A = this chain, B = another copy of it.
């Protein structure tokens, strides 16, 4: 199920030869960032945006991506050829502080830089057609502007989230909503699109969709309260691997009439067009 080749610290090697040290600070202390992009037509999509975000995440942890964008692009091309995914793929870039012999100190000049590819698995059509729910969860990510590898809360609650028939957690704290554990979330009220603006990860798909929508809708970026979220007529999430998905339930609360609304449909159509689905 894993792809046969991975990139690790300067070389593309068979998976069996890609050994992460037991002393890696990414393992011992969770000190790592990553990014995840998808292919469209077999080619990396929004590569520049994802690399910009990865570099920003790294900077927030005092780390530096040790390769140029051009070189990373070439590595990804080569990996995709070697791994020969039957359809679209995702590409995961992981950067840690590197090996730490004492489990505490590390040298940012010698990071661990890892690139993996996976088959892209999209949710079933019914998710896009009927929408899904989110579970409300009081939490704010520790370094929200960085895409760190810390998914403790999402993974701890993955079973109860599935049992609730929901696709993800919606993080809120201090009366404000932020983001889902693995996606950006937007709310539609009176024809305006409300985008939580602080303490969230910058979303590559979300930004592209909002940019396309901005010609026809007012986008309001800033604080979004729980009351505003629960009172929205529509809500949708955006995600690299999943595109645009309608949100029709927030906890026990039904969003609008419980069906995907026209603004969400419009966002889905524009995303599908961007990735050449129609």
Task: Spell out A's residues near B (CB within 8 Å).
Answer: 1-2, 6, 8, 15, 18-32, 34, 60-62, 92, 94, 96-97, 101-103, 114, 116, 118, 121, 139, 142-143, 148-153, 155-156, 159
Contacts and interface: CB of A to CB of B under 8 A. Distances in A.
A31 B155 contact: yes
B143 A152 contact: yes
Closest 7 CB pairs of A and B: A19-B19, A30-B30, A1-B101, A20-B20, A29-B151, A30-B150, A30-B149
Contacts of A151: 29-31
Contacts of A15: 21-22
Given A102-B1, A116-B22, A94 B27 contact: yes
A114 B28 CA distance: 10
B22 A32 contact: no
Contacts of A20: 19-22, 24, 27
Contact of A29 (B19, B60, B114, B155): B155
A28 B92 contact: yes
Given A1-B101, A29-B149, 15 more contacts: A15-B22, A18-B21, A18-B22, A20-B27, A26-B27, A27-B96, A28-B92, A28-B94, A29-B151, A29-B155, A31-B155, A62-B156, A92-B103, A139-B142, A143-B152
B152 A31 contact: yes
Residue among A1, A25, A30 having the largest count of chain B Cβ atoms under 10 Å: A30
A162 to B, nearest CB: 11
A153 to B, nearest CB: 6
Nearest to A154: B29
Nearest to A15: B22
Contact of A103 (B28, B30, B118): B118
Contacts of A155: 25, 29, 31, 61, 97
Contacts of A25: 155
A159 B94 CA distance: 23
